[in-house]
Copies of this chain bind each other. A is one copy, B any other.
Amino acid sequence: MTELALAAFAAERDVHVIRAPHGRVFAMFARRFDEAGYLARLQRGGVRWLARSDDDFPPLLRAIHDPPAGLFVRGAAEVELLRRPAVAVVGARSCSPYGAQVARMLGRELAAAGLVVVSGLARGVDGEAHRGALESGGPTVAVLGCGIDRDYPAAHGELASRIRATGLAVSEYAPGVEPAPWRFPARNRIIAGLSAATVVVEARERSGALITVDLALEEGREVFAVPGEITSALSRGANDLLRLGATPLTSSDDVLELFGLEQAPAEAVELGPAADAVLARLRDAPASADELARATGLDAGALASALTELELAGIAVASGGVYRAG
């Protein structure tokens, strides 16, 4: 019996198994299982198989109490990537502009400092964390809650292929397995399991990201929560974690310190005086264009050009008519 037979059996029966079940059903399946043929088909699909018993299997993931039988792996990177120091960045799918901005910044800065950013390819925080890592040229790992051959969510198909171009997509689910709600908590244990630390950016109460946190805590991994406004339902989960004793993350340095790393030096950006004035106002609080015009005294044209300058430099973002410092 191999671990691959177990993964193939789980896919065929649509069940979650991590150890060979007793009884005839699995025994018969394993006896009939054509491992060489299955591996050849995987290979034709560009998929590798990394068994739990393989020396290359990531030790942090093997150490959790219910590691998967193995991982299906797609992407340009070596599987060694999964053994490198990694941070999970997780949070709400329908995140706010603030959550998106912080996830992107963390993805970018953590990857630039040499950490592998692990997330779940979901909309919102997950996607932004992956995108940030890609922006800094760092490989990133997407852990899927469906078969390794599926792009889920569909809207992230292009993002998934960019991730695979330098990093990896991994799944415990064999090709053909459809996404299903119950698979996502199981997937979250792999996100937490691959990572020495998990960062929650924005999360509602009782959300999937908090499941990832519970799993990380069970395995004794570090958990960071990003503070947010107490009036925002989207920050309730992260703020509640702070009350329970999670480490507040106020900059990526907090995570890097845990790994003994330092932030890659930021490129100095020269701003014009109008952009400087707008940025000073934005550093205090997000504002609409009207408020920025009022606060800075700039006319509409000068304000628009200052905002464009800040957006191009990546130090201000606009969303829903509200500008924010980056």
Contact = CB atoms under 8 A, between A and B. Distances in A.
Interface of A: 94, 96-98, 101-102, 226-236, 239-240, 242-243, 247-251, 254, 283-291, 294-295, 319-322, 324-326
A288 B290 CA distance: 10
Contacts of A101: 231
A96 B101 CA distance: 19
A250 B254 contact: no
A202 to B, nearest CB: 9
Given A242-B248, A321-B321, 18 more contacts: A94-B284, A97-B285, A102-B230, A227-B228, A227-B229, A227-B230, A227-B248, A228-B229, A230-B249, A230-B250, A231-B325, A232-B283, A232-B284, A232-B285, A234-B285, A248-B248, A289-B321, A295-B320
B233 A321 contact: no
A154 to B, nearest CB: 23
B233 A284 contact: yes
B102 A324 contact: no
Nearest to A291: B320
Nearest to A280: B233
A212 B254 CA distance: 26
**Most chain-B Cβ atoms within 10 A of its Cβ — which of A97, A239, A326?**
A239
A321 B303 CA distance: 16
A252 to B, nearest CB: 10
A288 B231 contact: no
A265 to B, nearest CB: 20
A248 B254 contact: no
A251 B242 CA distance: 13
28 contacts: A94-B284, A96-B284, A96-B285, A98-B231, A98-B285, A102-B231, A226-B230, A227-B235, A227-B242, A227-B248, A232-B283, A232-B284, A232-B285, A232-B325, A239-B250, A243-B248, A243-B254, A286-B286, A287-B321, A287-B322, A288-B320, A288-B321, A289-B321, A290-B321, A291-B319, A291-B320, A291-B322, A321-B321
A295 B321 CA distance: 12
Contacts of A284: 94, 96, 232-234
A300 B153 CA distance: 34
A202 B115 CA distance: 32
A188 to B, nearest CB: 22
Contacts of A239: 227, 248, 250
Contacts of A324: 231
A226 B239 CA distance: 9
